[in-house]
Amino acid sequence: MPTLADVVEVLESAYDPRWAESWDAVGLVCGDPSQPVTKILFAVDPVAAVADEAVSWGADLIVTHHPLYLRGTTSVAATTFKGRLVHTLIKNDIGLYTAHTNADVADPGVSDALARAVGLTGPLVPLSPAADDPRRGLGRVGSLPAPMSLRDFARQAARGLPGTAGGLRVAGDPGREVRRVAVSGGAGDSLLGTARAAGVDVFLTADLRHHPASEFIEAAADGDGPALIDAAHWATEWPWLADAARIVASGLAAKGINVETRVSETVTDAWTTTAECEETT
Ligand SMILES: [Zn+2]
């Protein structure tokens, strides 16, 4: 019978915990390494809807991208939503494992899956290579098979990513031709300068703010720098789940272990609806 320890070994050979940022909290959150695992659910967020999905599917393990306790805790009492989640998992013999910034910088990692989802083809290189191994790193740079307008690329990206309430926001001339593209799953603010230095035509990421985006667009209008596409944080990381599920299943199969994997389609982006401003007459 495959155990949680077998699965963790495969996860850590693909997403080495040593690659995680020092502020991060990755690895096994709950579960006994000796417990049997035959069904693994992959999800972006460790939230109640995902735990409920794991219970009803009969999962033995949830692998999430985001940590449950990024800043630590002194209690897992069922008096908070996080404590209740831990109780749900333990009562149902479900383990929880997190691969976060170590999955971002892996090869292949979170942004490889994002790049393919939005239509980049050919080789991908890290936007910000890791110091110890340039094949790994944050973000990816690649190309579209042929130039297209920013408007058409945004539509293609929207089709390639899972739907969310907010959709995509685009900054820049919609008619601008784009071909070289940088992407980074999750919050990409810190890579704006790197994307500009990389000379790409457009940078697609999430969680962008007004001032950096405004300055980028002013500079782009002067012919200096990429257009921006801001997608839902959850949507930019979701494509990685299928990659991770495949890597885990094939890594276990190589050891003669068969598991069932499932990618959660529960939308757990924080933004759940939008409202149009009413026209005033
Ligand atoms: Zn994230």
For the cut 60, the answer to whether the pLDDT of residue 271 exceeds it is yes
What separation in Å is there between the alpha carbon of 280 and the centre of ligand 1?
A: 38
What separation in Å is there between the alpha carbon of 108 and the centre of ligand 1?
A: 16
What separation in Å is there between the alpha carbon of 4 and the centre of ligand 1?
A: 24
What separation in Å is there between the alpha carbon of 238 and the centre of ligand 1?
A: 9
pTM metric for this prediction: 0.96
Let me know: does 157 contact 231? Beta carbons within 8 Å: yes
Q: 40 falls in which pLDDT band (50, 70, 90)? A: very high
The SS3 assignment for 265 reads coil
Token duo for residue 84: 């209740």
What separation in Å is there between the alpha carbon of 278 and the centre of ligand 1?
A: 33
List all residues 6 or more positions away from 243 whose beta carbon is below 8 Å from its beta carbon. 108, 112, 113
List the one residue out of 25, 161, 42 whose CA is nearest residue 101.
Answer: 25
What separation in Å is there between the alpha carbon of 68 and the centre of ligand 1?
A: 12
Token duo for residue 243: 């990659």
What separation in Å is there between the alpha carbon of 233 and the centre of ligand 1?
A: 6
What separation in Å is there between the alpha carbon of 25 and the centre of ligand 1?
A: 13
What separation in Å is there between the alpha carbon of 272 and the centre of ligand 1?
A: 17
Question: Per-residue pLDDT averaged across 184-208, rounded?
Answer: 96
CA distance 208 to 223: 21
Let me know: does 60 contact 95? Beta carbons within 8 Å: yes
Let me know: does 41 contact 59? Beta carbons within 8 Å: yes
The tens digit of pLDDT for each residue in 211-256 reads 999 998 898 888 889 999 999 999 999 999 999 999 999 999 999 9
What separation in Å is there between the alpha carbon of 66 and the centre of ligand 1?
A: 6
Output the pLDDT for position 18: 97
